[in-house]
Amino acid sequence: MLDVIIIGAGVTGSAIARELGRRDRSVLVLEKGPDVCEGTTKANSGIVHAGHDAKPGSMKARMNVLGSRMMPTLARELDFPYRRNTSLVIGFDDEDRKTLEKLKEQGEENGVEGLAIISGDEARGREPNLSKKVTCALLCRTGGIVDPFLLNIALAENANVNGVQFEFGKEVKEIHRERGGFVVKCADRSMYEAKYVINAAGVYADYFHNLVSGRKIHITPRRGQYLLMDKKTAGFVDATVFQCPTKMGKGVLVTPTMHGNLLIGPTAEDIDDKEGTFTTAEGLAEVLEKAGLSADNLPTRQVITSFAGLRAHEDGGDFIIGEVPDCPGFFDAAGIESPGLTSAPAIGVYVAQLITERDHAPEKKNFVAKRKGIPCMATASPEERKRLVAANPLYANVVCRCELVTEGEIVDAINRPLGAKTLDGIKRRVRAGMGRCQAGFCTPKQMDILSRELGIPLEDIVKSGKDAKILCGPTKQADPNGTICFGYTNAADLESRKQN
Amino acid sequence: MADKSYKTVIIGGGPAGLAAASSAVDSGLDAGDVLVIERDNVLGGILNQCIHNGFGLHTFGEELTGPEYAQRFEDKVKERHIPCLLSTIVVDISTEDGKTAREAGREKNPKKIVSAMNKTDGFFTVEADTVILAMGCRERPRGALNIPGYRPAGIYTAGTAQRFVNIEGKMPGRKVVILGSGDIGLIMARRMTLEGAKVEVVAELMPYSGGLKRNIVQCLDDFGIPLKLSHTVIDIQGKERVEAVTIAEVGPDRRPIPGTEETYECDTLLLSCGLIPENELSTQLGVELSRVTNGPVVNESLETSVPGVFACGNVLHVHDLVDYVSEEASEAGKRAASFVLHEGENEEDGTVIPVTAADGVRYTVPSSIRIGHMEDLQRIRFRVGAVFKGASVEIDFNDTVFRSQKKKILAPGEMEQVILKKSDLTGFDGLKSITIRVRKNEDI
Amino acid sequence: MKKTELTCIRCPIGCAITVTQDDDGKVTDITGNSCPNGYKYAANEVTNPTRIVTTTVRVKGGTLPVVSVKTKGDVPKGKMFECVKAINKMEVSAPVAIGDVIVHDVAGTGVDVVATKNVAKAQA
Element (H, E) at B269: strand B268-271
Determine whether the interchain pair C81/A476 forms a contact, defined as Cβ–Cβ distance below 8 Å: no
Q: How far is CA A425 from CA A33, A432, A464, C59, in A?
A: 11, 10, 7, 32
Optimal mutation site among C81, C89, C91, interface A, most CBs of chain A within 10 A: C81
Please provide the size of chain A in residues. Answer: 500
Q: With CB atoms and an 8 Å threshold, state whether C58 touches A491.
A: no
Alpha helices in B266-421 (DSSP H): 280-285, 322-341
Residue A447 Cα, gap to closest chain C Cα (Å): 15
Contacts of B405 (CB under 8 A, 6+ apart): B392, B393, B394, B418
Spatial neighbors of A476 by CB under 8 A, at least 6 apart, are B169, B195, C56, C57, C58, C66, C88
Q: Out of A475, A479, A488, whose CB is closest to C56?
A: A475
Which of B317, B324, B310 has the alpha carbon at shortest distance from B292?
B317
CA dihedral B94, B98, B104, B109 (to 10 degrees): -50
- Of the listed ranges A301-305, A336-340, B301-305, C99-103, the least confidently predicted one is A301-305
Residues with Cβ within 8 Å of B138's Cβ and at least 6 positions away in sequence, in order, are: A436, A437, A440, A441, B275, B276, B278
Give residue A80's pLDDT band: very low, low, confident or very high (50, 70, 90): very high
**A218 counts as catalytic:** no
Statement: residue A199 has pLDDT above 50: yes
- Region B82-101 average pLDDT: 84
The pLDDT tens digits for B147-190 are: 999 999 999 999 999 999 999 999 999 999 999 999 999 999 99
How does pLDDT run across C58-80, given as a tens digit for each residue? Answer: 999 999 999 999 999 999 999 99
- pLDDT of amino acid B103: 54
DSSP annotation of B219 reads: I
- pLDDT score for A23: 98
Separation in Å, CA of B38 to nearest CA in chain A = 12
Contact indicator for B3, B28 with CB cutoff of 8 Å: no
pLDDT band at A155 (very low <50, low <70, confident <90, very high): very high
pLDDT at A177: 94
Among residues A49, A52, A209, A259, the one annotated as catalytic is: A49
The lowest-confidence range among A269-273, B59-63, B255-259 is B59-63
Task: Grade residue C11 by pLDDT with cuts at 50, 70 and 90.
Answer: confident
| A387-406 residue pLDDT tens | 999 999 999 999 999 999 99
Contacts B44 to C, Cβ<8 Å: none
Task: Provide the terminal-to-terminal Cα distance of chain A, rounded to the nearest Å.
Answer: 65
Q: For A123-145, what is the mean pLDDT?
A: 97
What's the order of all strands across the beta sheet hosting B198-204? B155-157, B268-271, B175-179, B198-204, B227-229
Residue A288 has pLDDT above 50, yes or no: yes
Whether residue B152 and residue A462 make contact (CB cut-off 8 A), yes or no, is no
Q: Is the pLDDT of residue B345 over 70?
A: no
pLDDT at A494: 43
Q: Which of C16, C65, C70 sits opposite B168 (nearest CB)?
A: C65
Say if residue B344's pLDDT is above 80. no
Q: Which residues, at least 6 apart from C77, have a Cβ–Cβ distance to it below 8 Å?
A: A491, B222, C49, C50, C51
A13-71 tens-digit pLDDT: 999 999 999 999 999 999 999 999 999 999 999 999 999 999 999 999 999 999 999 99
Confidence at residue A382, expressed as pLDDT on a 0 to 100 scale: 87
Q: Where are the beta strands (DSSP E) in C32-123?
A: 50-51, 54-60, 66-71, 75-76, 91-93, 101-103, 113-115
pLDDT interval class at B57 (50, 70, 90): confident
Distance CA B373, CA A311 (A): 63
The average confidence (pLDDT) of chain A is 93
pTM, two decimal places: 0.93
Instruction: List chains touching C (3+ CB pairs under 8 A).
Output: A, B
> What pLDDT shows up at residue A497?
46
pLDDT digits (tens, 9 = 90+) for B95-117: 876 555 455 544 567 899 999 99
Contacts of residue C17, Cβ cutoff 8 Å, sequence gap at least 6: C5, C6, C7, C8, C30, C31, C32, C33, C38, C41, C42
Confidence at residue B142, expressed as pLDDT on a 0 to 100 scale: 85
φ and ψ at residue A156, rounded to 5 degrees: -65, -45
Mean pLDDT value of segment A361-390: 95
Burial of B431 (0-12, 13-18, 19+ CB in 10 A): middle
CA–CA separation, A470 and B152 (whole Å): 9
Interfacial residues of C (vs A; Cβ cutoff 8 Å): 56-58, 66, 77-79, 81-82, 84-85, 88
Per residue in B414-433, pLDDT (tens digit) is 899 999 999 999 999 999 99
Average pLDDT, chain C: 93
Tens of pLDDT, residue by residue over A2-12, are 999 999 999 99
Of B417, B303, B340, give the one whose Cα is nearest residue B27.
Answer: B340
Residue B346's pLDDT band (boundaries 50, 70, 90)? low
CB contact under 8 A, A396 and B164: no
Q: Which residues, including other chains, have CB under 8 Å from residue C104's CB and lie 6 or more apart? A: C112
Interatomic CA distance for residues C57 and B169, integer angstroms:
9
Dihedral angle sign, alpha carbons of residues B216, B221, B224, B228: positive
Contacts of C84 in chain B (CB under 8 A): 194-195
Confidence of residue B146 (pLDDT cuts 50, 70, 90): confident
Residues 71-100 of A with CB under 8 A from B: none
Scanning every residue of chain B, which has its alpha carbon at the shortest distance from the alpha carbon of A469?
B153
Predicted local distance difference test score (pLDDT) of residue C15: 86
Contact C96, C67 (CB under 8 A): yes
Do B198 and A304 count as a contact with CB atoms less than 8 A apart? no
Task: Tell me: pLDDT of A495 over 80.
Answer: no
DSSP sequence for B147-197? --B---B-EEEHHHHHHIIIII-EES-SEEEEE---HHHHHHHHHHHHTT-
Predicted pLDDT of residue B351: 85
Judge whether residue A478 has pLDDT over 60.
no
Are B63 and C116 an interchain contact pair (Cβ–Cβ within 8 Å)? Answer: no
Q: Find the CB nearest A303 among B143, B163, B236.
A: B143
Whether B82 has a pLDDT exceeding 90, the answer reads: yes
The fraction of chain B above a pLDDT of 70, given in percent, is 95
Give the residue on B whose Cα is nearest the Cα of C117.
B67
What's the CA gap between B280 and A445, in Å, rounded?
21
pLDDT band at A464 (very low <50, low <70, confident <90, very high): very high
pLDDT at A304 over 80: yes
With 80 as the cut, is the pLDDT of residue A479 above it?
no
Under DSSP, the state recorded for A284 is H
Three-class SS of residue C86? helix
A470: contact with B, CB 8 A cutoff: yes
The answer to whether the beta carbons of residues A84 and A142 sit under 8 Å apart is yes
Q: Does the complex come out with an ipTM higher than 0.95?
A: no
B369, B299 contact by CB (below 8 A): yes
In this prediction, what percent of chain A has a pLDDT beyond 70? 95
d(CA A180, CA A186): 20
Cβ-defined contact of B239 to A277 (cutoff 8 Å): yes
